[in-house]
Amino acid sequence: MTKHRKDLPPIALARSMGTPGVALLGIGALLGGGIFTLLGHAAGLAGGGLVFAMLIGAGISFINLNAYIALATTFPEAGGGYNWVGDGLGPIQGFLAGWFSWMAHAVACALYAVSFGIIAEEFFFHFLKWQTFDFSSSAWTLFFTVASILFFGAINYRGVKLSGKIGGVIVCIILFLLGGFLIFGLKHAITHIALVQFNFNPLLPNGIFGVLQAAALFYIAFEGSEIQAQTGEEVENPAKTLKAGLFISWGVVTILYLLIAFVITAATDGGGVPSWQFLSNVADRAMIEGASQFLPFGYVLMLVAGLLANLAALNATIYSSSRVLFALGRDRLLWRKAGTMHPVYLVPTRALILSLIVIITAATLLPLTDIAGSADILFIALFMQLNLAYVQLRRQKPEVRWRYIIPFGPFLPLFGVFCYVLLAFALFHVSVAAFYFILIWALLGLVNYFGYAKRVEREELVRHVVYEHATRFHPKGDYRVILPVGHEGHAEKFAEIAAAMTRSEGGDLVALRIHEMGLHEDVQHAFHSSQEKRILEAIEAVMTKKKQNVDTRIVAATSIPEAILETITSENAGLVLMNWDGDVHTKGFHFGRKIDVVLHRAKCDMLTVKVGTENEMKRMFIPVPVDGNPNLRFTGKVATAFHHTFGTKIMVCMVVPSGKSVTRQAHYRELLIERLRELKMKIPLDAIETQIFPADYIASGILKASSGYDVVLLPAARGRITEAIGVGSIPEQVAKNCRRKTILIAKGYRGITKPLFEYLRQSL
């Protein structure tokens, strides 16, 4: 995914929110989203099982909450789930997550605005008896709807601190009013036991599927985690503040939802019909009608509470939708100016204005039920992506200091994905229009992504290229080998290895010389003609001699790994060769720990090379593990390329524990033959030898057995990628103790699905 430019001063938001602000922001969004808008509709679906629908929603949202806490505290950024899905599942999924999130919050905001308009019209013209000036009730509803959006748009324009304070005051008032609703409702239920029994008989009039439908429709009331995650760049001490704020808001709102669902179902008199039928008929006025029966001044108090709840939700969702759009614009995936901020108030003003336009459009054109269904399905799609992204990022980035880890490994978030599939199925029977909406919106997003974002991504990369030269001997192939070159003395050796791989695959070589710039350094200062061109010309000479296509480039960037990754993405590369000299403290053009970033994130095959002093590549030693290794297939491709280019003879060796019985040795021989088949080398049998080598330690055994060979080719360690180069790993021990030999570490790219299932199997 294209991230915001590294050669410009970073665009950052002001950190001004604490735990109370984050918690109240989430509570405000949650309360307005369900209780005063959708409770009656949900009661009509679930019947007396409305509490069970709340439990299902709360349980699923708790799983999702854990993913948000883990990701938001570890990677606190504006944009929320959009950033993490992009890092975990790839750029297209990341963009779609942001695309869904922006529209989901905008549509949800439209829902709250319409609900506010309906309640405001009743409050002013039915309760206060204001003069209507001959305007219809629908006209006044529309007026209040649009006015509320514009009012809180102006509040958000002045900054998150002001909007947070106003929203917090509103939430406190709502909690006080709902507390009165619960106290008097429980008292009424206790004194009217016969009414309670009547209302809960039957308990599930529409069966368990009705409960699931209610949970799906009402799930928008649990989407506050995404809104709170948007504050990642605007909170003090994100690791502590976000975790506390997210847990507090979920706990408070879940308890309120369960109690209110029970009270309104138990204590409402439907006038001869069960309360759930009565509440379904009054729809979005369910809280008002129920409170009128048992709460003193219940009618007016719930009118006021409904007005305030929808205002609080408006405040939160306007904030969130503008932050998602800001992140998309900042990353050049949408209109670029959406990613800019007001110089005084430090808010994304253009993103805010554009979001307000979308919110007003949805609020004035779509029916209330379709608005709710569309927001639900968009959030469900986003949350499914988010939980999968968490599982993938935990596998990809074990070196990251995770501030929070979800219990039960990957199984809890994967169970959450399964639950979201069930909710989506149930929602389909409630609002078919919502599914048409998400399909159309996804298609529009893909058109934008491939028609605009990918083009801008290429333009961003080209701006960093300060020198480029291409040599062609045949039409440009589909396969690309990326070669970032560091040491001048190793350039020709790397070119020989790269030439072997490009020849084997019938592709082209892209050789990069990357200059690491300071934050404010001029790009033109990156061009040092004598040194840079000499290295690239040496590579070009090797490729020219072999009559193979080659592009040579000097690239200026503030981040070497990001420059490599951008080139891999833009060229759709099949292989990248990385130079590893074992030094983790080098800077500039040398690759030490920076190699880890590329290893984790590159979506292509990887060949990590430590060049030795020996120039020959006639004899290759391949140590294979006793256990299976998914990188053996790519290791075999590398060995095949070397044989066809250099005439290399191959020794495949298995280092086994010493002192084993004859029976055990025979077992290892069978395993060696099996690993040989897994390599799938396309080499004549007379060029391959095999060996069983007993040793007390694997690394020392490899070193002894490989004596007399020019090249050692190791399949990357199975499991976490860092095991291939991390401290204490077998490849590192071998590389550090091999001065003369060239060491190759092969890691084949298997996409997301295969490693994910392997990770799950290892976790069992």
Give per-residue pLDDT as tens, 236-255: 677 788 888 888 989 998 99
Query: Whose structure tokens read 């833009």?
Result: 570
CATH code for the structural domain at 19-455: 1.20.1740.10
Instruction: List Cα–Cα distances, 452 to 48, 431, 462, 738, in angstroms.
Output: 50, 32, 15, 49
Q: Which amino acid, 408? A: F
Give 694's contacts (C-beta < 8 A, 6+ positions apart): 655, 656, 657, 658, 659, 660, 701
For residues 393-422, give the mean pLDDT.
Answer: 86
Residue 34 structure tokens: 């369900």
pLDDT band at 284 (very low <50, low <70, confident <90, very high): confident
Q: How far apart are CA 151 and CA 364, in angstroms?
A: 16
The share of the chain scoring above pLDDT 70, in percent, equals: 84
Q: How far apart are CA 212 and CA 284, in angstroms?
A: 20
**Does the pLDDT value for residue 100 go beyond 50?**
yes
**Does the pLDDT value for residue 101 go beyond 50?**
yes
**Does the pLDDT value for residue 764 go beyond 60?**
no
**Does the pLDDT value for residue 654 go beyond 90?**
yes
- CATH homologous superfamily for the domain 619-763: HUPs (3.40.50.620)
Mean pLDDT across the chain: 82
Q: Which segment of 168-172, 392-396, 485-489, 545-549 scores lowest on mean pLDDT?
A: 485-489
For residues 524-534, give the mean pLDDT.
Answer: 64
Highest mean pLDDT among 245-259, 478-492, 559-573, 706-720: 245-259
pTM: 0.68
| Whole-number pLDDT of residue 72 | 83
Residue 764 structure tokens: 């069992």
pLDDT band at 522 (very low <50, low <70, confident <90, very high): low
Q: How far apart are CA 76 and CA 89, in angstroms?
A: 18
Omega before residue 694 within 30° of 0, cis: no
For residues 445-465, give the mean pLDDT.
Answer: 74
**Does the pLDDT value for residue 159 go beyond 70?**
no
| Whole-number pLDDT of residue 10 | 45
Give per-residue pLDDT as tens, 540-585: 999 999 999 999 988 887 777 878 888 888 888 999 998 876 544 4
| Whole-number pLDDT of residue 527 | 54
Same fold, 19-455 and 619-763: no
Give per-residue pLDDT as tens, 71-81: 888 887 655 67
Q: How far apart are CA 315 and CA 124, in angstroms?
A: 22
| Whole-number pLDDT of residue 585 | 43
| Whole-number pLDDT of residue 645 | 92
Domain boundary assignment for the chain: 19-455, 465-610, 619-763
Phi first, then psi: give them for residue 155, nearest 5 degrees: -60, -45
Residue 568 structure tokens: 């891999």
For residues 596-621, give the mean pLDDT.
Answer: 84
Q: Which amino acid, 202? A: P
Highest mean pLDDT among 326-340, 365-379, 484-498, 628-642: 628-642
Q: Does domain 465-610 have CATH number 3.30.420.590?
A: no
Which of 313 and 731 is assigned the larger pLDDT?
313
For residues 326-332, give the mean pLDDT.
Answer: 82
Contact 383, 420 (CB under 8 A): yes
Contact 98, 441 (CB under 8 A): no
